[in-house]
Structure 1
């Protein structure tokens, strides 16, 4: 992925409603979701949602297709994966990104009887 495409994708995701829409599309999988179902699930007005869909589509993060009277939106997983790859390319200078000393899990506190 080129830097200009990564910036466009990150800019499209840098708004809370668009991020919610994209995450919902990712959860829906390759079949996608109708615009009406997305609007209902996220409680976003349809005219506002259209604007957000356009931004995601322009950034290459979503596609749209017509099924009867419904518009079905789907995440473009290849773009999402390319963005993640771009962000993690040469991660940690080639060394493991895992912490050297992993933190121990917190112990559960038990209530002391009164």
Structure 2
């Protein structure tokens, strides 16, 4: 996959990771965020990844900047879906790529800030 920021301008090491305002697939070498529409995966999987990203951070009350009462459960559910989607990305890209999932831990981070 073409990567503008890697020294060789390509990578076969990817990660699936949630973040606010980003797409779901990242270079796992330079941490560049890829445009989901440039990833050679099916439109259905791209849509599922986009939906999953829209749910990122639902465990945080952004107006109050605190975690919701069931934050850990919401984040855990999000991470489990991320693991499933990562497996699908790997399946569609093939063995040429290494794809790992980077789970969110922001609920725990926010909870520690509140302590």
Fold shared, TM-score > 0.5 on shorter chain: no
By percentage of residues, which structure has more helix? 1
The two structures have a TM-score, normalised by structure 2, of 0.24
Larger Cα Rg: Structure 1 or Structure 2? 1
The two structures have a TM-score, normalised by structure 1, of 0.24
